Structure formats: structure tokens, C-alpha cells
Amino acid sequence: MINDIRFKGKRSVDWKDVREYLKEYVGEFYTIAATGDVIFIGSDLPKEYSGSKYTNSIKGTNAKAKANAATGIPEMIEIAVGKHFRENHEDKHKRDAKNGWYRYDSRFALPVYDDKGELERYNVFHASMLIRHSNDGKLYLYDVIDIKKKRATLSANKRLPDKKPISFREV
């Protein structure tokens, strides 16, 4: 769950701000709990995350979700599952993804507030994390794509059922 909504606004997302925020992660690494894979954050992530074809194609809720997902990248990596491999077929990635690509499935939730500023519900999003397998043998987060929204509602008394965190397996 991402409770710190850092990138908000009524109109479009300022992707330059997202890019600047992501630069703070460069040089860090995180481990995927399910596989033990270590995922590094390279200097290419901020530019790709904020300026990819996918990012430029999304609007509205999904664009704001991707922008705010940037604040939860460490946790999204740690809970990622469903590792699957794809060969590299693009000339532009011959050097940086020489060993191909991996995709992992992950998820995150963002709060939705009512007009009074009270928590109304959480929107739960599923996403694919695109990981490049570099010629140095390391795995690098390249982008977060294919963001899809699912909705998890709060109970009538505006608390999560049984005061437990949302179980994403049930959503």
C-alpha cells in the first residue's frame, strides 16, 4: 500500500518530477522474495520509466498510478512473482539487454479519498515489472508497464474488513 501520494494534480502528471524522484533509487538493489533474484536500479530507469512509449500512451488514473507507484518500487520488487523470460529482439537493446528480458507480476494499492478527505477505498493495481538481463549478468529494473486497476472496497464503517491489510490474493 502506498499512502504517500506524492504526485497528484487534477490534470496530467509532471513526468520530470517523477524522473527526478527516481534518480534517488539509482545504485540501490532489492531482492525478490519468491525467487531470491537481486534487482538493481540503473541510471536508465528514471528516463525509461518517465518517458517510455507505454508511459506516453497512458492517461488519467493509470498515469497517476504509475507516477505514484514510483514511491513503492522497493516493495513492488520484493513481492514480485511470476518470473518469465523473453529473448531480446530489438537492435537498440543489443548492448544493455544482451541476455534478454524478464517480466515479473507485482501489485500496489493507492488510497481514494472522498470530498471530506476521508479514506473511501483503495484502488489496487496489478503491473508488470520489465527487468533487463544485462551483459554484466545483473538484472536491472527497466520499466513498470501494463498497469491494470482492480478495486478493493472498505466495509460500511470505513475500515478494512477485520482490520487486516488487504489480501491481494483475494482481489
Residue 150 banded pLDDT, cuts 50, 70, 90? confident
User: How do residues 12-30 score in pLDDT, each as one tens digit?
Assistant: 899 999 999 999 999 999 9
**How many CA atoms lie within 13 Å of 36's alpha carbon, on the beta-carbon side?**
0
For residues 98-125, average pLDDT: 92
Residue 155 banded pLDDT, cuts 50, 70, 90? very low
CA distances from 11 to 17, 52, 64, 111, 162 (A): 14, 20, 10, 18, 36
Q: Are 128 and 145 in contact (CB under 8 A)?
A: yes
CA separation for the pair 89, 17 (Å, rounded)? 31
User: How do residues 42-78 score in pLDDT, each as one tens digit?
Assistant: 999 999 999 999 999 999 999 999 999 999 999 999 9
* Contact residues for 68 (Cβ-Cβ < 8 A; gap 6+): 2, 5, 6, 7, 110
What residues form DSSP beta bridges with 76?
none
For residues 4-15, average pLDDT: 83
